[in-house]
Amino acid sequence: MDPRHLHIDERLGGDYCTYCGGEGPSTADHVPSRVLLDEPYPSDPPTVSACGDCNQRFSFDEQYVGCLIDCVVSGSAEPGDVSRKKVARILRENPSLASMLAASRRRGASGVTWEVDEDRVRNVVLKLARGHVAFELFPRHDEPTQVSFAPLVEMEEVQIRAFFAPTPSAGAGGWPEINSRAFRRAAGALPSPHDGWHVVQPGRYRYLVDGTDAAVVRMLLGEYLACEVDWG
């Protein structure tokens, strides 16, 4: 039996929007969004089916998260101070976003802190996780049991070790969905990433999907923001 030529059921065939589950998706969506990556872009990024509404409604939140991370890392919301050219361009072209980020920078007795719109960050983290789990396993339109995110610099050493821990070896627990990418990797039809982590762009974005027991997605944005979504 050749794992490259197995039947693809309706959940894996692109007939439904990855994010809302609506029928007849009209667009393809990169996971992650290009605002989280730098040029030149990867030649073959993960891509999932999406309806037009979902492909548009996350745009501002994705810009917010992409710019927020670089502003925090750079210590400023001024276009001339941030490290990524793309973020500088977005801040110049979107004054309302630039003002929002500048207003979130607070200087206090303990130093500079940033007031984060956690709802926007959660929206983006969950959207990314839905895209990755759909790409690697199968779509999940139900609510996860946990959505968490935190800067690596604020995490304890034991938390960091757990976050980067490799996934269990194939076959150690549940079996992957037939003809999912996880199944084809287990069967040798696709290469397996080192320690389970897929590097979309070095220094900018990597992710891990573990479907051994229940779907868990971990993402590291800009080598700064550690995110985890768990459907266990």
What type of residue is 191? Answer: P
Q: Is the pLDDT of residue 227 over 60?
A: yes
pLDDT at 193: 52
Residues 101-113: pLDDT tens digits? 999 999 888 788 9
Q: Is the pLDDT of residue 167 over 70?
A: no
User: What radius of gyration, in Å, describes the C-alpha atoms of the chain?
Assistant: 18
Q: Is the pLDDT of residue 74 over 80?
A: yes
Task: For residue 232, give the 3-state DSSP assignment.
Answer: coil
Q: Report in angstroms the alpha-carbon separations of 140 from 85, 136, 150, 189, 191.
A: 34, 11, 23, 24, 24
For residue 201, give the DSSP letter: E
pLDDT at 94: 96
Given a contact cutoff of 8 angstroms between Cβ atoms, the answer to whether 114 and 186 are in contact is no
Given a contact cutoff of 8 angstroms between Cβ atoms, the answer to whether 183 and 138 are in contact is no
**pTM, two decimal places:** 0.84
The label of the residue with tokens 């969004």 reads 33
Cβ partners under 8 Å of residue 214, min gap 6: 230, 231, 232
